[in-house]
């Protein structure tokens, strides 16, 4: 399974919209749209999980693809860097 970062998602998009778009390239295991912890509002990016071969096809095809007039930024998700604790 590969995790794909998807940025610049239109604020009106739903998890189903993203699932349907990526579903054209293979089975989508999960979709997670990230929300602000304080406001609960969608932050404009998320993550999609797919099988490795399907993920590679989706990344190549959808990076720069326009969704509701916004070009998506699509690449392999990188592990989150550790955050300092205060």
What is the CATH classification number for the domain harbouring 20? 3.30.70.330
Tokens of 37: 């912890």
Mean pLDDT of 36-65: 96
pLDDT of residue 82: 81
pLDDT of residue 85: 78
Residue 71 scores a pLDDT above 90: yes
7 domain-assigned:
yes
85 domain-assigned:
no
Q: At what angle do helices 15-23 and 52-62 cross, to 10 degrees?
A: 100
User: Structural domain of residue 69, as residue ranges?
Assistant: 2-76
Count of C-beta atoms within a 10 Å radius of residue 3: 16
The count of structural domains within the chain is 1
83 domain-assigned:
no
pLDDT of residue 80: 79
Residue 77 scores a pLDDT above 90: yes
């Amino acid at each position: 399974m590969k995790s794909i970062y998807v940025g610049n998602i239109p604020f009106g998009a739903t998890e189903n919209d993203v699932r349907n778009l990526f579903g054209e390239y293979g089975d989508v295991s999960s979709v997670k749209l990230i929300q602000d912890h304080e406001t609960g509002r969608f932050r404009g990016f998320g993550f999609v999980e797919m099988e490795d071969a399907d993920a590679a096809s989706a990344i190549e095809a959808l990076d720069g693809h326009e969704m509701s007039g916004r070009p998506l930024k699509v690449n392999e998700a990188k592990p989150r860097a550790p955050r300092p604790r205060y």
